[in-house]
């Protein structure tokens, strides 16, 4: 009864539909995951939060301490600050070791480059002054700045942001400079990877409409956790909207790189900001909806886990939704029970197909939407 009431309430106010109503969006980030999920939900999305990584601070790490001692002993000419949390963590760790003043003195004499506004805020909060900040907040811009200005004979400290920052380091070395990596924190897999494994299953089954990425390590970790399912997951990412593909959305080109190398093109905002990422998702997913005209004069639209019949929204369970998606992709052709069975969750039988068709017809209150073709199967009753 509660489900029927919920459908009824949705059907009464189609004009109130938010842009992401009906869509399921996955969040792979750890930092600001709740904020990202909330922003997506405000636009109507159902969210699945499954951080693929966790941040491990390194205040007592020997590599960080060694890099700090080295830079105090032999001061850098140039410092690259990549993240606010990392830069602050570095200063706090140095203070804990009794090196805070010495490190600030060294940094104050160096030229400081910032990858984005958060790194810039941390630099200024420490009483330091930046030489330059990347306008579009990407690592690529910092790399290009280093190449254009030249680093020959210079000592460059690079505050890492969870991954090795190989592009920065290689650019300095190729330009004749000496790179000193500052590993303030590192990424590692979650203690419990079960939520991520469930996300992989959902992506492969195409029960997720979009997956958001805010860092390259997060994308790499998802591929690593996927293991034997990685090929199926990549196929889901590469698939078109007509084939119920899963849309990968990356905050920027650096984040997208692990997927790009594997032939997966991500949608990206113009600016590498969380709000812009959400707006990109809210713009891209509705464009992937399927709109069809039934022979009975009714119109249907498929949006994620929801069907709009004459603009009235009806949320469907997975099996009926899988059936109508398969029939929509067939464009009016008959699909046998065996063919439809292949689109249902594992373990389903022929009877499950009949039940899914019945539930589909009942859910949208229109039995004529799916036609039974005797001894052959079912087809969507589309306008010719």
Burial (CB count <10 Å: 0-12, 13-18, 19+), residue 74: exposed
List the CATH code of the domain at 23-53+190-287.
3.40.50.10090
Second CATH level (architecture) for the domain 56-187: 3-Layer(aba) Sandwich (3.40)
Q: Which two tokens stand for residue 273?
A: 């900001």
CA-CA distance, 104 to 49, in Å (whole number)?
38
Spatial contact of 72 and 103, defined as CB atoms under 8 Å apart: yes
Q: Render pLDDT for 71-126 as a digit per residue (tens, 0 to 9).
A: 999 999 999 999 888 898 899 889 889 999 999 999 999 999 998 888 999 999 99
pTM metric for this prediction: 0.73
Counting as low any pLDDT under 70, the low residues of the chain are 1-16, 57-60, 162-165, 346-348, 350, 384
pLDDT of the residue at 9? 29
- Given 1.10.10.10, 1.10.357.10, 3.40.50.300, 1.10.1670.40, which CATH number is that of 290-380? 1.10.10.10
Give the pLDDT of residue 248.
98
What is the DSSP annotation of 92-140?
A: HHHHHTT-HHHHHHHHHHSEEEESSHHHHHHHHHTT---SEE-TT--HH
- Residue 154, CB-side half-sphere exposure with 13 Å CA sphere: 20
pLDDT of residue 1: 34
Q: Do 56-187 and 23-53+190-287 have the same topology in CATH?
A: yes
pLDDT at 243: 84
Q: Supply the DSSP symbol for 335.
A: B
| Residue 185: predicted pLDDT | 75
CB 129 within 8 Å of CB 149: no
What integer pLDDT is reported at residue 162 of this predicted model? 60
**Domain map of the chain by residue range?**
23-53+190-287, 56-187, 290-380
Which tokens is 169 given?
């380091």
């Amino acid at each position: 009864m509660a489900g029927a009431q919920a459908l009824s309430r949705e059907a009464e106010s189609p004009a109130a539909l938010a842009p992401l109503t009906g869509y399921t969006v996955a969040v792979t980030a750890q930092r600001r995951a709740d904020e990202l999920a909330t922003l997506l939900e405000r636009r109507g999305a159902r969210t699945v939060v499954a951080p693929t990584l966790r941040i491990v601070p390194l205040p007592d790490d020997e590599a960080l301490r060694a890099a700090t001692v080295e830079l105090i002993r032999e001061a850098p000419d140039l410092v690259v600050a990549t993240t606010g949390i990392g830069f602050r963590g570095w200063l706090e760790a140095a203070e804990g070791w009794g090196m805070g003043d010495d490190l600030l003195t060294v940094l104050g004499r160096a030229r400081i480059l910032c990858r984005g506004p958060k790194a810039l805020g941390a630099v200024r909060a420490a009483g330091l002054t930046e030489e330059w900040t990347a306008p579009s907040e990407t690592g690529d811009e910092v790399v290009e700045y280093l190449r254009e200005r030249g680093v020959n004979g210079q000592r460059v400290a690079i505050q890492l942001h969870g991954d090795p920052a190989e592009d920065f380091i290689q650019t300095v070395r190729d330009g004749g400079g000496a790179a000193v990596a500052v590993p303030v924190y590192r990424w590692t897999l979650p203690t419990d990877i079960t939520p991520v494994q469930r996300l992989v299953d959902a992506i492969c089954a195409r029960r997720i409409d979009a997956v958001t990425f805010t860092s390259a390590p997060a994308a790499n970790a998802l591929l690593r956790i996927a293991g034997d399912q990685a090929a199926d997951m990549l196929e889901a990412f590469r698939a078109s909207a007509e084939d119920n593909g899963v849309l990968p959305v990356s905050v920027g080109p650096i984040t997208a790189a692990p997927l790009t190398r594997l032939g997966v093109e991500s949608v990206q905002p113009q600016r590498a900001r969380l709000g812009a990422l959400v707006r990109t998702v809210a713009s891209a997913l509705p464009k992937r909806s399927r709109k069809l005209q039934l022979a009975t004069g009714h119109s249907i639209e498929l949006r994620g886990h929801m069907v709009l019949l004459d603009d009235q929204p009806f949320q469907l369970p997975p099996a009926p939704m899988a059936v109508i998606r398969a029939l929509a992709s067939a464009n009016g052709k008959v699909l046998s029970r065996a063919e439809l069975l292949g689109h249902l969750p594992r373990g389903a039988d022929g009877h499950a197909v009949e039940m899914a068709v019945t539930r589909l017809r009942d859910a949208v209150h229109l039995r004529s939407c799916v036609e039974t073709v005797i001894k052959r199967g079912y087809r969507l009753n589309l306008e010719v």
